[in-house]
Chain A
Amino acid sequence: MAFLEANGKQIELDEDGFIINLDDWNEDVALALAKTEQVEELTENHWKVVNYLKEYYKEFGIAPMVRKVVKSTGFSLKEIYDLFPTGPAKGACKIAGLPKPTGCV
């Protein structure tokens, strides 16, 4: 079992580095997860995307399509990739504390 160290606490991760218990998520955890996805700091723009993903997941129980992320946050696809170099599916969703999406992702 893999663990992530965030603010002195051990957070349990799945085999792909996604957090297992969504209740473990907080801003320190998000920052620690960000560093595993080539994001060194979380700016206001990062938070805009992360918060949107969290809200969407809370409401629908799955990750949103990239189309929805772009439309709702107002960022272009290029801007999303600049913010999250490993992409919206794995990078941004992981940082937002969403579980690894099922299917061929």
Chain B
Amino acid sequence: MSAISIGNLEPLFREDIAKYFTTLEDKLDFTNCLTCGICTAGCPYSDVHENMDPRRFIRKCLLGMKEEVLNDPFIWNCTMCGRCTMLCPMGVDIAGIVRTIRGNFGLKAPGFLQDVVDNQLRTGNQMEVSQEDYLETLEWMEEEVQAELDETSVTIPVDKVGAEFLFLWDPREIKYYPLDVQSIAKIMHAAGANWTSSSQYWDATHYGLFSGDDQASTILIKRIAEQVKKLKVKYLVVTECGHATRAQRWGRKVWLNPEEGDYPVYNFVQLQAKWIKEGIIKIDPNRNPEPVTFHDPCNMVRKEGIIDEPRYCVNKAVMEFREMWPNREFNYCCGGGGGLLAMGADIQPNRLAKGKLKAEQIKKTGAKVVVTPCHNCYDQLNDIIKHYQLDVKLKHVHHLVSNALVF
């Protein structure tokens, strides 16, 4: 503990932060901090490794310790999971302040976080997939589903004006995991969905959410809003990806004018739950006999409130579902959120240290399968499974549902 030198404080720092802070609430709400420390008590990782104390961080911001804040490793250690804010009696949005500091004070993100944003701005998607390659993969997977179901009427529609909804992909599904495209298209076909994808901007992901670059975020969200208008769809559906769900739902409210961002946005798990509930798709849980547990992605569950729908799908699609504890909005972050998976070698030891809690949560369930509707959590869980040598497989919700489909 070192003494705070009053002479070095910059009392106007909080106003600087407020000026850049992107939020739907009052920009000065964070100054209501009571110093109670519930944030630090609620952060699962505050005693896992150094420089992981939200209370310390918010106090530094409010005292005007600008240099300390800008050099604080907490800015990059924080996974922006929002558990502290959920518990804070004053609703201080620490993740939001972290994002503001990351993006507005000339800091450079560790690892390749910025490259991901740049790639997406430059090429339209974060993995630099050309339009030709993208369309070819969709056609290829259309043929694969046709062959799998022995049904030539299966389509993966592109640029279908007036479809009910527009579906956004994670580029890794297109580039590296086409079996995910197949699985999703199979469910769409079973449901008789009137859907489409855009040939131009189809990337759901949004690393501006992590880098804090509002200029980039506005460009990215505008591109999607244009597709919604151009294709005259009723709503937007995001693939099983947590941060993309957050960025597309919350982001349209903060980065667009109200009339530009007036379209509803759902995650694909919400559609699957609806279709199962209404009997539009039929599933047989006997196809998924192993015990399954569910990991709640913070962005989808805690921040966007999509809590029951993924559970409903999993419960219906498997023989045995076991909750980990704590769960739902109280769940622990996987340890890889907030862009940490893109921050390279320096952050990795902390990321894996955080993952130990998740490893223990999973182990206690005794489940053989961990399911999560988020690619980011998926990768972190993959690292956790390897590092802590867990005997579990990893799946998305749609994997279980498409595997259990009865035609």
Contacts and interface: CB of A to CB of B under 8 A. Distances in A.
A binds B: yes
Interface of A: 14-16, 62, 65-68, 70, 77, 87-89, 101-105
Interface of B: 112, 115-116, 119, 126-129, 133, 136-137, 140, 144, 170-172, 174-179, 205, 341-342, 344-345, 348, 375-376, 379, 383
Given A65-B176, A66-B137, A103-B127, 9 more contacts: A14-B345, A65-B129, A88-B176, A102-B115, A102-B116, A103-B172, A104-B172, A104-B375, A105-B172
24 contacts: A16-B383, A65-B129, A65-B133, A67-B133, A67-B140, A67-B178, A70-B140, A77-B144, A77-B178, A89-B172, A89-B175, A101-B176, A102-B112, A102-B119, A103-B126, A103-B172, A103-B342, A104-B126, A104-B170, A104-B171, A104-B172, A104-B341, A104-B376, A105-B379
B136 A87 contact: no
The 6 closest A-B pairs by CB, nearest first: A89-B176, A15-B348, A15-B345, A102-B112, A67-B137, A103-B126
Contacts of A77: 144, 178-179
Given A14-B345, A89-B172, A101 B127 contact: yes
B177 A67 contact: no
Contacts of B379: 104-105
Nearest to B139: A67
A39 B171 CA distance: 26
A56 to B, nearest CB: 12
A32 B287 CA distance: 37
B119 A103 contact: yes
From A66, A101, A103, A104, residue with most partner B Cβ within 10 Å: A104
Given A103-B127, A104-B126, A68 B133 contact: yes
Contacts of B116: 102-104
From B127, B144, B174, B341, residue with most partner A Cβ within 10 Å: B127
Nearest to A78: B179
Nearest to A88: B176
A89 B174 CA distance: 12
A16 B111 CA distance: 13
A60 to B, nearest CB: 10
A16 B344 CA distance: 9
Nearest to B241: A104
